Chain A
Amino acid sequence: MPERKPVTPNTYMNSNASGIPASPSRRQALKLGAGATALAAGGLFSIPSFSADRTLRIGTYGGYFENSFKEFVYPAFTEATGIAVESVTQPNSSDWLVTMQQAAASGSSPTDLSLFARDTMIKASRIGGLIAPLDLAGNSSVNNLEEVFIYKPEDDILGVGAMSWFVSMVVNPDQVDVPASWADFWDSENFEASLGLSKLFNSFLLDITAATFFDGAATLSSKEGILAVIEKIAELKSNVALWWSAESQMEQAMKNEDVIGGMYFHDVATLMASDGFPIASVFPKEGNPQDYGSWCLSPLSEKSDEAKEFIAFSCDPSTQALMSRKIGTAPLLAQSKTDLSDDEFTAVSGTPAITPAYESYLDNETFISENWEKMLAS
């Protein structure tokens, strides 16, 4: 699924007056990430931040996301349990999987708990030997989460949801009326060469199109269905001004009015709107895709007890609310279980949610990626 680092208000405010993000570009982030990965793999990151007896190494996506965890979430956990956290930088989810493969081969893991997107987690479980089963007996707070966020492929639980985010429809309300359906984007009268959509095959445009014009995830379970959906997306091409591969591209394109609509992360769009930029994050009648990250334990870790305590802490409604407020992620449980106000909740979440066809993306990944590329290149 799209590699992303959920963004805090800080990210957005770090843009300077000319609209250039002060945060590193994707290329820089990749370079930094690669360096950090190498260092992390070498164990050089393992500098204890506390001299406590009990410690836990947790990986999160680097940048503001990790910083917010270090600033708000880990201190609260240490205060509650006495377990010190060593934060480890992950460049993203799929790159981290490569690192964990190398770590498994060398017999030394850079983290105890890693953050994996759902597809990466399934992929890791299929590769085998990269994720240890979690023993969550007696961990009542896990029951707070909706069942879909607990990954249990067979008998064992391999991943527990950490936080989620939405990819939503965005438009510039000054330039165009807010559409009621994703289907409106296919209308060239309003949107010729004006949209910004994600270029990655697994960034949910397939799910959106399947939900809008077909039978949703069921259509994506067959190769014929996939081809039909891709064909439908091909009709949209003349309306796309930007096929973005990094979040910052779309952010700049919306700010500069190079595009007047498209798909983008709900939380960042909400922050941009609150800062006065002409962007509306919309939940059309078909809904928006919801993706989420999971905590997964390394089989090389000897800290399964500490990991269990952290997962319990993470699933607690107050922690989920804390993450929504400070990191901008959507909680993995009903709003009623948290103390989030309506405004706070709508800033990070919405309905209806489209659940991506994760299994199909993995079972047909070469087929989908090749046909997706062909569609883009034609």
Chain B
Amino acid sequence: MSTHARKAPEPVASVITKPLPAGLQETASSEPVMLRPLLLPLLIGATCLLCLLPFALVLVISLGEKIEGAAWQWALDFSQYRRFFVGLEWPDSVSFLYSQKLFYSFYYATVGAVLAVTLAFPFTWLMTRQSRQLQTVWLVVLLSIVSLSEVFVVMGWDVLLSNRSGLPMVLREAGVTGWLKDNGFFPLLREWGLANPRDLKFKTSGFAVILTMTYLVWPYAVILLFPPLSRMDNSLMEAAQTMGARPMTVVRTVILPSIRIPLMGTTLLLFVFLLGVYVTVSVFAAPPQQTLTLSIYQSIRGATLNAPFGAAQAVVLLVSACLCLGASHYLANRSKSRS
């Protein structure tokens, strides 16, 4: 498609509803006309350079050949992909080790994103009903949580879940651990990996991973849901209530459908964000439940220096994520056209 066929970008001032100060308007209108046709090709070029080129490099590296005991060399070898899907020793034996890791990447990201949005929705709804001042305070608090890096969050939960100073200690001191032991719940908890013969334990466990991941993205969910919820027209809900709808019915039939698209968008964004989480999984997940992110890092920078296999795993993760996003987009469109 020719770039000339496209409409030239509108001046900034024209897409903003409020009029800009006089000085800014002057700047926008005095932009050299000569530069405008170049802007789009430049942006496309920059996107290619920053996004597509690294990806192309990863793709090419994934076709490289590993040299045992050394590093790797450029080649046209698809064996890394074969290793991913059926294991190293195929056809003698089949292993779905890396598919299992891929599954856990998606599992944690899905559960974390859905939980965060589920918990953020009622919170944000109540927040938007508060005074303007209180809303601002909440938003500032949320933004400061967002500024914490994953490392700090994980460190915090690590202490909160640890045996001597965290949740197991609280439950022990409160007599819950003793009660669970006396009433025969311990064997079941041990089976679930949430206890050892002496105490309750929450590390390492799927519980700790999901808890931390949900905590990590929950503030983002609130911040993303805040604008659509605060813009909601109260008269819609009042009308529903006047017609006899109970509060939960109002939520189900009025609020949720009207913010369906932001809800979906938020969940997908958080899902993509959680696919790449590293520290949480490396600290809280037991090896059988670890994700592809760890395996990619271990292949590329770990002792084996197997960059082609790391790259192949990255390509599979990316393609799977794209397929997943494409599928949700398709489903969203289909449900939209039905309704």
Which residues on A are within 8 Å of B, measured CB to CB?
Answer: 1, 3, 18-20, 25-28, 94-95, 97-98, 101, 119-120, 122-123, 126-127, 175, 192-194, 199-202, 241-243, 245-246, 249, 252-253, 255-258, 361-367, 369-370, 373-374, 376-378
Contact = CB atoms under 8 A, between A and B. Distances in A.
B304 A366 contact: yes
A25 B151 contact: yes
Interface string B107-142: 000000000000000000000000000000000000
Interface string B33-75: 0000000000000000000000000000000001111110000
Nearest to B202: A258
Contacts of A193: 190, 193, 195-197, 201
B272 interface: no
Contact of A25 (B70, B87, B95, B279): B279
A105 to B, nearest CB: 12
Nearest to A202: B303
B159 A19 contact: yes
Contacts, number: 128
Contacts of B69: 122-123, 126, 362-363, 365
Given A123-B71, A193-B193, A365-B68, A98 B165 contact: no
B286 interface: yes
Given A20-B159, A200-B303, 9 more contacts: A1-B303, A18-B159, A98-B305, A101-B71, A119-B303, A202-B303, A245-B282, A373-B97, A377-B287
B204 interface: yes
B305 to A, nearest CB: 7
B301 A98 contact: yes
A365 B303 contact: yes
B177 interface: no
Nearest to A128: B70
A193 B196 CA distance: 5
B191 to A, nearest CB: 11
Interface of B: 66-71, 83, 87-89, 95, 97, 100-101, 150-151, 154-155, 158-159, 162-166, 190, 193, 195-198, 201, 203-204, 278-279, 282-283, 286-288, 290, 295, 301-306
A192 B196 contact: yes
10 contacts: A18-B165, A94-B305, A193-B196, A200-B302, A258-B201, A366-B66, A369-B303, A370-B97, A373-B295, A374-B95
Contact of B155 (A25, A94, A95, A119): A25
A246 B71 CA distance: 24
Given A25-B155, A370-B87, A256 B193 contact: no
Contact of B279 (A27, A95, A365): A27
B201 A20 contact: no
Nearest to A362: B69
Given A27-B278, A242-B204, A245-B282, A256 B197 contact: no
Nearest to A188: B197
A342 to B, nearest CB: 33
B163 A97 contact: no
Nearest to A192: B197
A256 B201 CA distance: 11
Contacts of B154: 25
Nearest to B285: A243
Contacts of A127: 70-71
A196 to B, nearest CB: 10
Please classify the interface of chain A as helix (H, G, I), strand (E, B), loop, or mixed, using the class held by over half of its residues.
helix
Contacts of B190: 192-193
A66 B24 CA distance: 53
Given A27-B150, A98-B301, A252-B162, A367 B88 contact: yes
B266 to A, nearest CB: 26
Contacts of A362: 68-69
A377 B203 contact: no
A199 B162 contact: no
Contacts of B162: 252-253, 256, 258
- Please list the 8 inter-chain residue pairs (A to B) with the smallest Cβ-Cβ separation, ordered nearest first: A376-B287, A362-B69, A256-B162, A193-B196, A126-B70, A370-B88, A256-B164, A127-B70
B196 A377 contact: no
A26 B306 CA distance: 21
A21 to B, nearest CB: 9
B163 A377 contact: no
A27 B119 CA distance: 28
Given A98-B305, A200-B303, A362-B68, A258 B163 contact: yes
Contacts of A256: 159, 162-166
A115 to B, nearest CB: 16
Nearest to A203: B303
Contacts of B195: 193
A241 B303 contact: no
Nearest to A256: B162
A370 B155 CA distance: 30
Contact of A377 (B97, B159, B197, B301): B97
B159 A257 contact: no
B151 A28 contact: yes
A363 B71 contact: no
A84 B4 CA distance: 62
A199 B297 CA distance: 14
Nearest to B197: A192
Nearest to A371: B88
Contacts of A202: 303
Nearest to B295: A373
A95 B301 contact: yes
Given A258-B162, A377-B288, A365 B304 contact: yes
A98 B61 CA distance: 15
Contacts of A249: 283
B88 A241 contact: no
Contacts of B155: 20, 25
Contacts of B159: 18-20, 256
Contacts of B301: 94-95, 98
A362 to B, nearest CB: 4
Contacts of B279: 25-27
A18 B156 CA distance: 11
Contacts of B97: 370, 373-374, 377
B149 to A, nearest CB: 8
A192 B196 CA distance: 6
Contacts of B197: 192-194
Nearest to A249: B283
